[in-house]
Amino acid sequence: MSDVRVIIQRDSEREERVVTTGTTAAELFAGERSIIAARVAGELKDLAYEPRDGETVEGVEISSEDGLNILRHSTAHVMAQAVQELFPEAKLGIGPPVKDGFYYDFDVEKPFTPEDLRAVEKKMQEIQKRGQRFSRRVVTDEAAREELASEPYKLELIGLKGSASHDDGADVEVGAGELTIYDNLDAKTGELCWKDLCRGPHLPSTRLIPAFKLMRNAAAYWRGSEKNPMLQRIYGTAWPSKDELKAYLDFLAEAEKRDHRKLGSELDLFSIPEQIGSGLAVFHPKGGIVRRVMEDYSRRRHEEEGYEFVYTPHATKGKLFETSGHLDWYADGMYPPMQLDEGVDYYLKPMNCPMHNLIFDARGRSYRELPLRLFEFGTVYRYEKSGVVHGLTRARGFTQDDAHIYCTREQMSDELDKTLTFVLGLLRDYGLTDFYLELSTKDPEKFVGSDEVWEEATETLRQVAEKQGLPLVPDPGGAAFYGPKISVQTKDAIGRTWQMSTIQLDFNLPERFDLEYTGPDGSKQRPVMIHRALFGSIERFFAVLLEHYAGAFPAWLAPVQAVGIPIGDAHVEYLEKFAVAAKKKGLRVEVDSSSDRMQKKIRNAQKQKVPFMVIAGDEDMSNNSVSFRYRDGSQENGIPFDEAIAKIVKVVEERTQV
């Protein structure tokens, strides 16, 4: 047997090794149990791969991003095998890895029940313990069609080879090159147990799946299109260790407690009535208070920063969105037109920017007016597919805190810097502190304008972002059609990342709307346009804050800042005087004068997550004082009447949490 020279890459270290022809990647990394695949020339390979002379081989750790995807996709295969063992009539769809887990789609006669899922999970555990080998083999299209003749969805995927999409997960099954089937082989006999069309790679064995759990099932259209059959999708999760699985399940339990839809109902903040329609919320009085406080503070800060307030209608002639390009690029996400005025198409607006352009263009503008900062709480409407609508975080009608800044080319960099600093400062005021920035650059298939203009805009944004001293993450191809953008990403109290503000630099719309200002020399010049949504939308930001604080808003945002709790009926009037005095200081105070016992009143206030419970009994009345009880159960007694009010006022003014 001849020898081959291979290079083993470990981080920055390279080890050259001479091995016998036919040596596998598994043998190169023998004893390194965390290595579950190999990367050769940028491509992921099974550990059964036999490196060729001169190739560089890098081990893929199970805990790396690629390693987790391989683990989860392998577990998805085990799930599909378990389903077909229990439900032989089930036809296979697609089973890609997704964030924190995997799913697999099945065509079955009846939807899966919770009992079915428990049975599938039990069967998966059996398959895992059997230690079946994942074995790759290359097949021709014809052979694959013959082997998979009973799997109509797999036959469709074979026809997609070379054009499979990542969006619907099809690219995990078929790629641009050769077609492969993975056989699950009995560990002892080598007999075929099951097979599936797949690109791979996979774990060497089902026994190497450390920890998994099935989560739920849902209906899903085949390849995400409403024109296709409805399939049943089972979601699961898989992790490199049982401890990591437990931590993830604990995290999900905490996230569920914080779900804004659940808290919105419990705290009587908002609802999404079926009679109005999916993705269209109404805010109740208490939610209205929170929203108004959020908006009022934002208005005040915008005024301080030189923004001017504008207002625009909710509907417009379609021609406006033809001019802006939205009908070319976003028609699928817009509500269908209404035909008015003898056949003229009117649309509910999905964006505010075209209308702000008309305000800019309503009269002649001078360079002396620039930068011109127009700001609006503008309600927009987007026809989101029913499958992606999610409470307030993905809605069909929402209010953007939208600003458009018009400036000269020379002012552009400074204005972007000011805008980003303002954005980050305002988000910090609401209690968010953990940020990183994302720079979205041109989608080569979806952009307008010249390459030179895009390069200038992108580089300007990059420099502005770097000045903040925050991590900057590239997002290639993620820009809107008209220009690159910076997105502010923030982590909440339990470590989830949310996209907050976006800042977009746009040379295109001023061109499309023929916007001009008069320069110092009297010449007509084109302004630069900066798009900025600070919260993204009021509704979504409301939901993020609700989940971040788990409903326990800091006092300045809380719908009820303090509730008076009398020890007995004789103390009600005293606390009502306290409430009147507190309200004169702008505080939101209520007195619980119900017939409930005191302990019940405390429990009710705790359920409503009120920051201050103000308790008074005989001793407090005789001393002209009150006692504070806080959300965590701690208590502060004998606080003088006026001092207690001043203390609440200070906490509200300083926007601190109690």
Phi, psi for residue 620 in degrees, rounded to 5 = -60, -45
Q: Considering 81, 132, 400, 489, which one is annotated as catalytic?
A: 400
516's tokens: 């001009």
Q: Is the peptide bond between 371 and the residue preceding it cis, with omega within 30 degrees of 0?
A: yes
Q: Which of these is catalytic: 233, 326, 404, 548?
A: 404
Token readout for 116 is 């079915």
- Of 402, 492, 506, 592, the active-site residue reads 402
* Cβ-proximal residues to 651 (8 Å cutoff; 6+ apart), any chain: 554, 555, 556, 611, 658
- CA dist 142 to 138, 146, 161, 183, Å? 12, 6, 13, 18
Work out the number of other CB atoms within 10 angstroms of the CB of residue 332.
8
From 404, 537, 422, select the one nearest 483 (Cα to Cα). Answer: 404
Q: Is 353 a catalytic residue?
A: yes
Q: How far apart are CA 582 and CA 571, in angstroms?
A: 17
Q: At what angle do helices 285-304 and 412-429 cross, to 10 degrees?
A: 140
Active site residue: 531, 588, 601, 629, which one? Answer: 531
Q: Which of 286, 382, 548, 571 is catalytic?
A: 382
> What are the structure tokens assigned to 229, written together?
């059959």
For residue 143, give the H/E element and its range: helix 141-147
How are the residues of the chain apportioned to helix, strand and coil, as percentages rounded to the nearest 5?
35, 30, 35
Let me know how many helices (H) and strands (E) the chain has, helices first.
19, 33
Active site annotation includes 198: no
Determine which one of 223, 485, 540, 588 is catalytic.
Answer: 485
Q: Is 485 a catalytic site residue?
A: yes
Q: Where are the beta strands (DSSP E) in 203-320?
A: 211-221, 230-239, 270-271, 282-283, 308-309, 315-317
Catalytic residue among 353, 365, 373, 548: 353
Active site residue 404: yes
Residue position matching structure tokens 């199970």: 62
**402 is annotated as an active-site residue:** yes
> Which stretch of DSSP H or E encloses residue 85?
helix 65-86
Rg of the chain (C-alpha set): 30
CA atoms of 319 and 317, how far apart (whole Å): 5
Nearest residue to 380 via CA among 398, 393, 394, 401: 398
Active site residues: 353, 382, 400, 402, 404, 485, 531
